[in-house]
Structure 1
Amino acid sequence: MGRIIPLKKILKRQGIVLSLLCFSFIIGCSQQPNEEPVDYFTIVRPEFTGKLAYETTDFVEDYWRVVGNTGFNKTIYLIADSLKASGYVLEEKAKENDRFTYRIEKRSMTHQTWEPVSASLQIVGADKPMLLSDTNRNMIYLNSVSTPKKGLKTEVVWVKSLKDLESVSLKGRVVFAEMSARKLYKTAIGKGAIGILTYDNPAYLQPEKNTTSIQFRSLPSQDDGNFWGIALSYEAKENLVAALKKGTTEILVNIQTKRYPSEELTIVAEIKGNELPHERLVYSAHIQEPGANDNATGAGTQLEMARTAARLFAEGKIDFKRTMTFLWGDEIISTRRYIQEDAQRANGIKWGISLDMVGENTAITGGTFLIEKMPDPSAIWTRGKDKHSEWGGEVLKLADMKPHYLNDFIISNFKKQGEYANWVVETNPFEGGSDHTPFLQADIPGLLLWHFTDQFYHTDNDRIDKVSQETMKNVGTAALVSGLELVNASDAFVYDQIKKLKERANLRLEEEAKLSLLALTKGSTIDEEKQIITAWKEWYIKALLSLNDVVPKENKTVQKAIKKALSEMSIEYEKQTKFLND
């Protein structure tokens, strides 16, 4: 255990310490690149309107999408037609000098696909249904079977806990519970229940305000099964509970769904690099899920990015030194497969960027635009300005860190667009759960562009009226500009990142020192605080070293600049942590 410094002594030192933290760095390289950096913002901003992104979102969100079903496949072919119209050539028909190509990958599925048709839920004796799929399209559990066409009548068994199931008969009846179906359905099936009614809306959805919202739920695939589930809105749950409190309650249920053999489709568009085609940036957006923001906006924004890139190339305004790839498919699964199925290709993936829920009208949905960072020390010690979203995240370990310049580079570019467009850009520590995770699991730098908190997240109120064309314009512009800078990165890019990384390290270490001084007054120890600041120092040292993935290590001028930066950072770290050693 470390020793605790008395408050009086800490405050006496604070003025000296904080002044030491306000340092600046000078690169002092003997040579600088002669090339003038390209301002891609001035090129992309006039071209990226968000119109195509919005129109695509409007088309896609009409469908309840899951891999292999009608809406998913129509989205794939809509994207293919749009890419073709902008000059991308079907890969199997492409000639050697065609640099803009696309392909649709088709794979057999081990289970049937599924889509909802219609549903209604009514308490026997009530004047009207509690729920109708026309207005609550998330009411049917994914993978539910159909009832008889005329529906069925059954008694509801209300349970407060899994233990309650032990003492009741369920055969031919339906179970109602306010809990996750994962805890409920296996036991219910085992005891002969024909279906479940559940309510499980988290507080961030503001269910007492959004009383008709239903967050979509799913059952495991059951090609030969006969089980169904209905998720309830807050309003429907309250009505059902009121009826159950009066006594025995029966319901009329009519569910019609489709289950049929299909194939899994993934679409991949590529812009081949003219110098280093084996090195690439991969953008990834998933299509499945039934919402507008989640994730029709990701699919639509990424499509406009791909088409804008093609148009700017055709106009002679940009080129591509490395390959730029756009991937649309099944969340996490398609991205992971793209990485794993071709080791040589995976070895050339230098950066991954996931677009998920990128078009929100935050005045309606709440929350803000977020960049979910690659794992850095804020995912271990979340303090100060760093905050997790309501999604939440596990506390990571030092072994989980992914130091890389991509974090600060993307944040810097998006902040630049934010200042230009008066658009709020924030960050959150790593939490996982989207297409950035397969990149990180493969030790490829990857991060997430998204929004949270969203009071309509995963609900049937996530529709086109919650989407902002302006937001998609901002996200798409910053994401495409960042991609163009990465795929065309050279010495000038490295020098610029060295400068910016040192500035960000300066700010981070200054902030962490202030937080440590405060923490010491509240009972923390020297050892604990030194560990935190040291973790940030080591993270930024490794982030600087990661710039070696842009230029060859034989480039002595760049290596000298990196070495000088590392030396200066170490010296400043010693100054900044002096108060922890006294």
Structure 2
Amino acid sequence: MKMPKLPRLVCFAFLLSSSIPPGFAQDAPRNLVKNVGAVGRHLDGKTAMRAVAFMQNYWRHAGNQDFNLCMDYFATALRAGGFAAADSFFRLSVRDTLLPQARAWQPFDAELRLVAPIDSLLHSLAQAKMSLCVNSHATPLPGASMELVFIDSIEIAPQSLRGKAAYTHQPPASVFERAVKLGEAAGIVSSYLPDYNQPAEHPSSISMSSIPYIDSPSVFAFKISYGSQVLLDSLMRQGKVEVHASVLAQFTPKIVREVSVEIVGQQKPEEIIVLIAHVDEPGANDNASGCGALLEMALTLRRLIASGELPRPARTLNFMWVEEIATVRRWQKSTPRVFDKIKAALVLDMVGEDVVKTGGSFLIEKTPDPSAIWTRPPDEHTEWGQGDVAEADLRGSFLNDLFYAACEARARQMQLPWLIKTNPFEGGSDHVPFVHNGIPAILAWHFTDVYYHTSNDDIDKVSASEMANVAVSVAATALFLANCSETDAVETVRLLSKRAAWRIANETQNNLRSNDSSENRRILQAWLKWYEEAFDSVASLNLGAGGKALAAEIRRAQEGLNRLAKER
């Protein structure tokens, strides 16, 4: 959905989602707040913005030439920043993975031109990367002219579209079976744009789409803007319309390049905090912003740790530039023992929106808690929609409240009008395989803005300061998790305890608005159980010896939660 734009503020303020109690940052662990300040003094988003400027020129389909070229950009920048394959502490890894059953798609040039009844360029790859659909085949040189047939209101007979282009207002993949396999169309032209992209208000936007991959016949598909749809619809009402399509693209064996750097832990190097961003997708915000922010984080932390301004981490920090979701799944399958040592994952996906221009807001998608199943005020889902979460899958965790506290601390320190919101777990990004394997993971993102997955997702909609805010918050949280002493852990339990009290009070109010007493009890019990487990989860972070103080604090927190529940 489109979020309201931030007002211009002339005095200090930060804006909080109604799903978080005010003053939450005042209860944040002291070293978490300290990390926010230490990293924030040296991270301004400029390095991230340079990465966005580079990446936005390339159609990054996993394993293609553009994707691997962007991976090389990060590897080069990381080497220049002091990471090396031979370094036992600041370690760089570049790996190519051949996926023999898959194909990488690389577009080079494409153009869709109206040739009758008028001659006019509709769209080109050079002007809008999203105008050519993923898995489009090359056309014979110099392209082909053909009649455009509107198929949404006709019955398609076998071979009836041979030598023609099928025109639709639907997603191209949804008509592929009818138009190509049945009608044998040479190509598809689609004007589909989701409602949240507001086509009438943004008539130049073209949304990203794909068609199924087939070896033969060679088929292309173009996406057009709402403005072009209006033109074509008008012309087709008057008579026959012809277009000329030319596509230069190729399919190659899929060799996915992956780049990662580690800042190896001193005390427990086998335990890992993952920071991750996917390189695939062609947009500036999606996800050049996440990749750029991750780069600036890695370089900043390496510099501060090497200079002694920050301590060496006890646990390993692993920064990863990957193929979305698939890389993490391959990692889990290939080295499950290593994967099982991951303490938490922090995912950066679409972190750079200039919210004044896009109308969006920064979101923290939580590792699954009961709001993913019972979404009651003030929690709400985005337009992505509810994820697939069962009650048995819920595991209480320290991560949601801790990361929110880091973001709020950043807002306080910078006196920022930063809108920080949360949403229940939904899925769709790199946090999914971590969560499905029992590892707490949050997604730092922005959604939905009117430019999401469109040709207007350009660098002019990306904000260096927004990337810096997210990057500082993520880096500070990762450092805290990597160096969590017993004192840190005790303070984390206290933070969770106050958050739990707020949640129970909030759910009690929700119960007063509902007549289903049985369901109300079930929801309240789910939250009680989730926070009891969240308290317990903090014990796994403690790097200190003994742990008696922490055990006592966890016991007090759980007893206090139970007393509070009985009062309700």
TM-score, shorter chain, exceeding 0.5: yes
Matched with 2:519 is 528
The equivalent position to 1:546 in structure 2, one of 498, 520, 537, is 537
Q: One-letter code of the match for 1:380?
A: I
* In structure 1, distance between residues paired with 2:376 and 2:31: 39
Matched with 1:16 is none
Q: One-letter code of the match for 1:237?
A: Q
1:458 aligned onto 2:453: yes
* In structure 1, distance between residues paired with 2:351 and 2:480: 21
1:139 aligned onto 2:134: no
* In structure 2, distance between residues paired with 1:479 and 1:390: 24
Query: 1:10-39 deviations in whole A, cap 9, x for unaligned?
Result: xxxxxxxxxxxxxx9xx9xxxxx9x98882
Matched with 1:15 is none
Once the 2 structures are TM-superposed, how far is the Cα of residue 438 of structure 1 from its aligned partner? 0.8
The equivalent position to 1:375 in structure 2, one of 356, 368, 372, is 368
Residue correspondence of structure 1 range 332-371 to structure 2 within 5 A:
332-371=325-364
Once the 2 structures are TM-superposed, how far is the Cα of residue 388 of structure 1 from its aligned partner? 1.1
Does the 8 Å contact 2:352/2:464 carry over to 1?
A: yes
Helix, strand or coil for the counterpart of 2:44? Answer: coil
Query: 1:108-158 deviations in whole A, cap 9, x for unaligned?
Result: 233442222222223322131222333222111112111122221112221
Query: 1:456-488 deviations in whole A, cap 9, x for unaligned?
Result: 111111111011000011111111011100000
1:272 aligned onto 2:267: no
* In structure 2, distance between residues paired with 1:396 and 1:443: 12
Does the 8 Å contact 1:102/1:268 carry over to 2?
A: yes
Paired residues in the alignment total 536
* In structure 1, distance between residues paired with 2:173 and 2:250: 23
Residue correspondence of structure 1 range 399-548 to structure 2 within 5 A:
399-421=392-414, 422=416, 423-519=418-514, 524-548=515-539
Matched with 1:108 is 98
Q: Quickly say closer, same or farther: Cα 1:395–1:530, change in 2 above 3 A.
A: farther
* In structure 1, distance between residues paired with 2:280 and 2:406: 29
Q: Percent identity?
A: 33
Once the 2 structures are TM-superposed, how far is the Cα of residue 574 of structure 1 from its aligned partner? 0.6
* In structure 2, distance between residues paired with 1:224 and 1:272: 48
Helix, strand or coil for the counterpart of 1:230? Answer: strand
Q: One-letter code of the match for 1:260?
A: T
Once the 2 structures are TM-superposed, how far is the Cα of residue 261 of structure 1 from its aligned partner? 3.9
Matched with 1:50 is 45
Helix, strand or coil for the counterpart of 2:275? Answer: strand
Query: 1:430-464 deviations in whole A, cap 9, x for unaligned?
Result: 11000000101111111100001111111111111
Helix, strand or coil for the counterpart of 2:542? Answer: coil
Helix, strand or coil for the counterpart of 2:500? Answer: helix
* In structure 1, distance between residues paired with 2:99 and 2:566: 58
Matched with 2:551 is 559
Query: 1:183-225 deviations in whole A, cap 9, x for unaligned?
Result: 2112322221111111221111111011111111112334554
RMSD: 2.3
1:119 aligned onto 2:114: no
Matched with 2:313 is 320
Once the 2 structures are TM-superposed, how far is the Cα of residue 68 of structure 1 from its aligned partner? 2.4
* In structure 1, distance between residues paired with 2:103 and 2:337: 32
* In structure 2, distance between residues paired with 1:270 and 1:400: 30
Matched with 1:11 is none
Residue correspondence of structure 1 range 249-328 to structure 2 within 5 A:
249-261=241-253, 263-318=255-310, 319-328=312-321
Q: One-letter code of the match for 2:406?
A: N
Q: One-letter code of the match for 2:323?
A: D
Query: 1:43-94 deviations in whole A, cap 9, x for unaligned?
Result: 111111111111111111111111222321121111111111121111xx34
Does the 8 Å contact 1:54/1:469 carry over to 2?
A: yes
Does the 8 Å contact 1:321/1:487 carry over to 2?
A: yes
Query: 1:311-360 deviations in whole A, cap 9, x for unaligned?
Result: 00111022110000011011001122223211221121110111000011
Does the 8 Å contact 1:37/1:492 carry over to 2?
A: no
Q: Quickly say closer, same or farther: Cα 1:301–1:223, change in 2 above 3 A.
A: farther
Q: Quickly say closer, same or farther: Cα 1:275–1:394, change in 2 above 3 A.
A: closer
* In structure 1, distance between residues paired with 2:31 and 2:156: 71
* In structure 1, distance between residues paired with 2:123 and 2:117: 15
1:171 aligned onto 2:162: yes
Does the 8 Å contact 1:418/1:425 carry over to 2?
A: no
Helix, strand or coil for the counterpart of 2:294? Answer: helix
Structure with the greater alpha carbon radius of gyration: 1
Once the 2 structures are TM-superposed, how far is the Cα of residue 399 of structure 1 from its aligned partner? 1.8
* In structure 1, distance between residues paired with 2:129 and 2:211: 16
* In structure 2, distance between residues paired with 1:38 and 1:474: 14
Q: Quickly say closer, same or farther: Cα 1:47–1:36, change in 2 above 3 A.
A: closer
* In structure 2, distance between residues paired with 1:490 and 1:227: 59
TM-score, reference length from structure 1 = 0.88
* In structure 2, distance between residues paired with 1:367 and 1:262: 34
Residue correspondence of structure 1 range 81-96 to structure 2 within 5 A:
81-90=76-85, 93-94=86-87
Helix, strand or coil for the counterpart of 1:285? Answer: strand
Helix, strand or coil for the counterpart of 1:130? Answer: strand
Matched with 1:237 is 229
Matched with 1:185 is 176
Query: 1:361-415 deviations in whole A, cap 9, x for unaligned?
Result: 0111111000000111111222212121122224743123232111111111112
Q: Quickly say closer, same or farther: Cα 1:37–1:221, change in 2 above 3 A.
A: closer
* In structure 2, distance between residues paired with 1:218 and 1:477: 35
TM-score, reference length from structure 2 = 0.90
Helix, strand or coil for the counterpart of 1:229? Answer: strand
Helix, strand or coil for the counterpart of 1:325? Answer: strand
Structure 2: gaps of 5 or more residues: 1-23
Does the 8 Å contact 1:366/1:452 carry over to 2?
A: no
